[in-house]
Each structure stands twice: as structure tokens, then as C-alpha cells.
Amino acid sequence: MITTKVPESWRELQNATARILRECGFSVEVEKTISNARGSVEIDVYAEETVDGRRYVILCECKHWRAKIPQTVIHAFRTVMADVGANLGLVIASEGFQSGANESVTFTNVKLVTWQEFLEEFEQTWLKTYLYPTVTERCDPLLTYSEPFLPAWWDRMPESDQQKYLELKDRHDAFGFLMMSFTTYSRMLQDKPPPPLPLRPHLEPALTKGLLIPDEVLDAVGYAEFLEAALKHSDEIIAQFRALRPKDIE
């Protein structure tokens, strides 16, 4: 799943929905006012993208209610959808929907989803447009240090630093190899899903001992939490390697 965090208020639900769509590559506006035939209407989350010159619009209605959403709310949203001419409408409800509400969207371009179902709807897009590119960009120096080849400035390091460099490689190569599997180019070469979370049950026991890979990385259930922990660890490792470079190397 994208994240294990569950919004605890309407505002959090709205902002979390906007963030996910923005990370999926959409241009997003929160509480956007749109003019229509009846005057104007405020949209909780308005998301738009252009693919090959074609405009695609999603409207989101966020409902953090303690009860299931009734049919009347859905009918009102369908009217807004018709006026705006959006491609897809999502009503995201914390507690789900009454049976009549579900029936009211049959054969329409409106989907009724819980927060978890919303995450599932956009997970593959989020991985492709956000997680993989972020890992590729942020972890690129780590992957360079983890590769078998020694740096061009190896001979310029004191022997003591060379030993520290090799020790760092020995300690963190496994993590670098793991992060490589989450890069854009690695995913392009592998016709299979990314490593499942949590990672610990799927890795060799030797990789999970000591401080080689932090528990926060090994035990994360949501990809967002995994990414946060992995990038933090990667930045720390990169800083250790860079401290060994000759001072005139950029």
C-alpha cells in the first residue's frame, strides 16, 4: 500500500488525497471554486493532467463522516460532475457508503471509494511516477559508491581513508543493492512487481542483522514510510562516503 497513515479529519483526508494525486503527476488544487450553469461550486480536490495533448480531469469529494454516505450526497455530486464535465469523479468516504449510494453510480463516471480503496486505485501510478523516480534521483550517489568499481580519486586518498572506504562498502553494499531494485531503470528491466513490503521476510537473514539495514526500512508496511526511512538512511551513508573524498572533488 502507498501509506499506512489514515486521515483523522476531513482536512487531513482532503490534504492527503491532494498529496497523493500530486505525487501521481497531476496538477492539483484544493477547495477550487469552479463556475457552472448554477453559479459556482467548490471542489474539495481538483486534479488535472494532460497526456499527449488530451486533458483529463478528476474531481474528488472528501467525506470524513462517522456514518456511511447516503444517496442524496452522491446525486448532488453527480450534478456537479455533469456541470463541470470532468472525466472521473471520486467520492472518498472514511466509513463507506449506504447501499442506495452505490446503486446510484451504476453506469456513471463516479466511483465511491474508501481511503484504502483510493490508495489501491492509484498505487501503481504512484510507484511509477513518484517512488521510483525519487529513489533514482536521491540514491544515485549511493548506487555509485556501492558499485564494484572504485572511484577515480581512489589513489588520492590516504591509505587509512581507503580502508574506511572499503569498510563502508562492505557495510552498505547490501542496502545499495536493495535500493537499486526500486529505481526506474531497474523496474523497466524487470517485468514483475516491486519487492513486497515489509521487506524483512523476503531478505536473506544476513542482511537483516545489526545495523546493515535499519528496522524502519525492513519493517515498513507502507511504501511512503519505507521511502522516508530509506532516504534518511541513504543520505547518512552518502555523507559518510563524501567525507572521505579529497577536498577538491565536487
Q: CA-CA distance, 131 to 184, in Å (whole number)?
A: 9
Residue keyed to cell 519493517 = 219
Identify the pLDDT of residue 51.
85
Identify the pLDDT of residue 41.
87
Identify the pLDDT of residue 7.
96
Q: CA-CA distance, 98 to 109, in Å (whole number)?
A: 18
Closest to 126 measured CA to CA, from 31, 26, 217: 26
The parts of the chain modelled with pLDDT lower than 50 are none
Ordered by start, the domain boundaries in the chain are 10-121, 139-242
Identify the pLDDT of residue 92.
97
Give the pTM: 0.91
34-76: pLDDT as tens digits: 887 677 889 999 999 998 888 999 999 999 999 999 999 999 9
Q: Which fold has domain 10-121?
A: Trna Endonuclease; Chain: A, domain 1 (3.40.1350)
The CA radius of gyration of the chain, in Å to the nearest whole number, is 23
| Cβ–Cβ under 8 Å, residues 29 and 60 | no
